[in-house]
Amino acid sequence: MNDYSALTSLPSVLLALQATDASDSMSAGLIRLLVIVAYFCLLLILGGVATSFLKNSNRDYLLASHSIGPFLLLMSLFGTTMTAFALVGSSGEAFVDGIGIYGKLASISGLVHSLCFFVIGTRVWKYGKRFGHTTQIDFFRDRLDSPRMGLFLFPVLILLLIPYVLGGVIASGTVVQSLTAGAFPTFFPHEQAALAGGVPPYLGSLVVCLVVLSYVFFGGMRGTAWANCFQTLVFMVLGIVTFYVIAMKLGNGTDLFSSMANAIREVPRKHITREEMSHSLFITYMLIPLSVGTFPHIFQHWLTAKNAAAFKLPIVMHPFFIMLVWVPCILIGVWAAAPGVLPEEWYGQPMAHQNKVLSYLVTKHTTPLVGGLLAAGILAAVMSSLDSQFLCMGTMFTNDIYQRFVRRADAVSNSTAVAASPATEAATPTGAAAAERLPAPAETSVWVARGFILAIVAISYILGIVLDGRSIFRLSIWCFSGFTGLFPLILAALYWRGLTARGTQAGIVTMAVTWSYFFYVSGFGQGVMGEDGVQRPYKLLVPGTDWDILPVVPITLATTVVMLAVSWLTPKPSAETLQRYFDEATVPTP
Amino acid sequence: IGLLLLHHDFWDDATLVGGFLPIGLAYHVALSILITVAWA
């Protein structure tokens, strides 16, 4: 065996973090709970500080007045894209399927996410700043001269975001329950000894949602960006600490690398190769990261950039940061596949237990204090995505539905003029279609946004309780598949003059119909039960072959074909609109 | 960008690089670093 001890003698403070099994599970659970509560309080204080910097305008509340520089943009984009999927989902999926998950989603995301930032993000930011867009729907409405675009796009975006939010809600409940096990044995008994006395998911996820809502409501986009930056640093640092502690405990070697070698020795061969993964499926996973080009919450983060140069740091560092987060989580999941690491019954039904792998190992192999800190790190990854999703849903509802359709109807029926506050007028887009909007006073807009966010969070929370135990990984893949299905629309809107409003609307409807069909036949994303009683992922075969592919392929193909066909047959936007977007002194292609 | 070809790599090779890192994973970690440099 190679001797790497000289390379891996980490500071003694890290060695001190190595665990002993807590002799008193009640006090251990309570200590972890107190650390989590302290972390929540810290976040609320951060949100409060951000509030003091808030300017009295919609533009500042929703887009931080286009003031976000390179580092904050990098951290908020990375924190937003790394969700429960990246930590809890990746370790769980590696426990089920092995190392293939890194190539399927992590390394390809490093390439494709940065490509989306470069080709889509910079362009969206440029037009957004020039024409005053606040949301994705604003952009499509203005670019395609289509005042009613929101009626097509808004329900689809919300429909796709709910499974994403749901993943965060389920993950936070699972993590809090696992890591506070033993704290309240009288109040929260459980048939599984490992979870007895833990704060139940309905309570844990409720508190997480309320904390996120608090700093989003009062800090707006600036508070969200600050919290994202802080939480991203927290989960990156604590993720590496988690990896180190678990590696040393599982491998029990003299140094990190010898421990890693010991930990992987008993792992089944299928987990350290991709021998059971089909080539065709691996190739089609390449489409999944394109979803980042159409996430409405990422779109809103792009619009916060101070200037185009602010995108350079996120483009370069995003792939490296993905590697730093995913490699440790995947190795932990792979090590967990070795016999005896997890409870015996988990190996027979890995898909049913995959969400609990990371938090179980943290609970079992760390001291209560470190366990609490690591729990805060996992929750930081979840919350740094929930906040952006909450804010963007509220923004879209206020900007694209309430101000445009609800208030307009009220104003017409009451024949009353609405005096917009100066702040709101400053926030109003200058594009042609944007003139259709009837702005509401800034304070009213903010409260309407908050009301809608509360409604969606309540729906997601109830679904999260009902659907607890669903695979976060698979829920997320379905969400990403829908957003990838919309990718041809944003690409065409930015680079093809021939795109029409009708073509876009037909594409949106096609995506929604095909996505709903495949979601239904796949057992609502959870796979199908085999005759042996074991749940397996849904397989879609290319007709006449044995190539299995992801449903994202037919969804994206159908959307593209319909978009092109209908666009060729229907009238294009006005010459004035096309001139605003395409006729510049310099050609806008990379 | 057409890095995409390199991405489609070691399929059933169970070699452990350094005795602790599966070669399929080690390859993609190296690719992630190459992608970072390429974007720079």
Q: How many CB pairs under 8 A join A and B?
A: 97
- Residues A495-509: pLDDT tens digits? 998 999 989 999 999
Closest CA to A477 of A40, A2, A90: A90
Nearest to B14 among A2, A269, A279 (CB): A269
Rounded CA-CA distance A379/A381 in Å is 5
Q: Which residue has the higher pLDDT, A63 or A550?
A: A550
Q: What tokens does A110 get?
A: 């490093």
**Is A286 close to B13, i.e. CB distance below 8 A?**
no
Which site among A107, A265, A334 would you substitute to test the B interface, given the most B Cβ atoms closer than 10 Å to its Cβ? Answer: A107
Nearest to B4 among A106, A111, A334 (CB): A111
State which residue of chain A sits closest to B17, comparing Cα positions.
Answer: A261
**Is B29 close to A274, i.e. CB distance below 8 A?**
no
How many residues are present in chain A?
Answer: 590
Token pair 């709970």 is found at A33
Mean pLDDT, rounded, of chain A: 79
Q: Which residue has the higher pLDDT, A19 or A497?
A: A497
A335-349: burial string, b at 16+ Cβ within 10 Å, e else? bbbbeebbeeebbee
Q: How far is CA A382 from CA A42, A80, A557, in A?
A: 16, 9, 32
Closest CA to A478 of A427, A506, A508, A512: A512
Fold category of A29-132+167-413 in CATH: Sodium/glucose cotransporter (1.20.1730)
Task: Give A115's contacts in chain B (Cβ within 8 Å).
Answer: 1
- Nearest Cα of chain A lies from the Cα of B3 at a distance, in angstroms, of 8
Q: Which residue has the higher pLDDT, A138 or A26?
A: A138
**Is A103 close to B7, i.e. CB distance below 8 A?**
yes
Average pLDDT, stretch A99-128? 91
Q: How far is CA A154 from CA A125, A258, A468, B20, in A?
A: 20, 52, 27, 48
Task: Give B29's contacts in chain A (Cβ within 8 Å).
Answer: 102, 107, 323, 327
State which residue of chain A sits closest to B14, comparing Cα positions.
Answer: A273
- Residues A336-391: pLDDT tens digits? 999 888 887 788 877 777 777 888 888 778 778 778 887 888 788 788 788 888 87
Average pLDDT, stretch A459-475? 73
Q: What is the pLDDT of residue A291?
A: 94
> Which residues of A touch chain B, with CB atoms under 8 Å apart?
1-2, 4, 99-100, 102-103, 106-108, 110-111, 114-115, 118, 257-258, 260-261, 263-264, 269, 272-275, 277, 279, 282-283, 286, 315-320, 322-323, 327, 330-331, 334
- Residues A315-329: pLDDT tens digits? 999 999 999 899 999
Task: Give A257's contacts in chain B (Cβ within 8 Å).
Answer: 18-20
Kindly indicate the confidence band of residue A26, based on its pLDDT and cuts at 50, 70 and 90: low
**Is B20 close to A264, i.e. CB distance below 8 A?**
yes
Task: Give B31's contacts in chain A (Cβ within 8 Å).
Answer: 107
Average pLDDT, stretch A54-83? 71
Q: Give alpha helix (H) positions in A117-148.
A: 122-131, 136-143
Q: Which residue has the higher pLDDT, A369 or A577?
A: A577
Task: Give A282's contacts in chain B (Cβ within 8 Å).
Answer: 8
Q: What tokens does A368 get?
A: 């209560």
Of A128-137, A171-180, A403-412, which gets the smallest average pLDDT?
A403-412
Please give the backbone phi and psi of residue A555, each rounded to the nearest 5 degrees, phi first.
-60, -50
Work out whether the CA dihedral A30, A32, A34, A37 comes out positive or negative: negative
Q: What is the pLDDT of residue A9?
A: 42
DSSP-derived secondary structure letter, A105: I
- Residues A226-270: pLDDT tens digits? 677 887 888 788 888 889 989 988 898 888 889 999 899 789 988
- Residues B18-34: pLDDT tens digits? 999 999 999 999 999 99
Nearest to B14 among A1, A273, A315 (CB): A273
Rounded CA-CA distance A429/A520 in Å is 39
Rounded CA-CA distance A224/A51 in Å is 10
Q: Is A496 exposed, middle or buried (0-12, 13-18, 19+ CB in 10 A)?
A: middle
Rounded CA-CA distance A253/A260 in Å is 8
Task: Give B8's contacts in chain A (Cβ within 8 Å).
Answer: 279, 282-283
Side chain identity, residue A106: A
Kindly indicate the confidence band of residue A1, based on its pLDDT and cuts at 50, 70 and 90: very low
Alpha carbon of residue A144 to chain centroid:
28
Q: Is the pLDDT of residue A566 over 90?
A: yes
Rounded CA-CA distance B40/B37 in Å is 5
> Which residues of B touch chain A, with CB atoms under 8 Å apart?
1, 3-4, 7-9, 11-14, 16, 18-22, 24-25, 28-29, 31-33, 35-36, 39-40
**Is A330 close to B14, i.e. CB distance below 8 A?**
no
Average pLDDT, stretch A274-292? 87
Average pLDDT, stretch A56-73? 66
Listed as own residue / partner, the contacts of A124-131 with beta carbons closer than 8 Å and 24 or more positions apart are A124/A299, A124/A302, A124/A303, A124/A490, A124/A494, A125/A302, A125/A303, A125/A305, A125/A308, A125/A311, A126/A308, A126/A588, A127/A581, A128/A302, A128/A303, A129/A66, A129/A303, A131/A429, A131/A430, A131/A431, A131/A434, A131/A580
Nearest to B7 among A107, A258, A269 (CB): A107
The angle, 0 to 180 degrees and rounded to 10, between the axes of the packed helices A25-52 and A149-179 is 140
- Nearest Cα of chain B lies from the Cα of A300 at a distance, in angstroms, of 23
Please give the backbone phi and psi of residue A369, each rounded to the nearest 5 degrees, phi first.
-65, -45
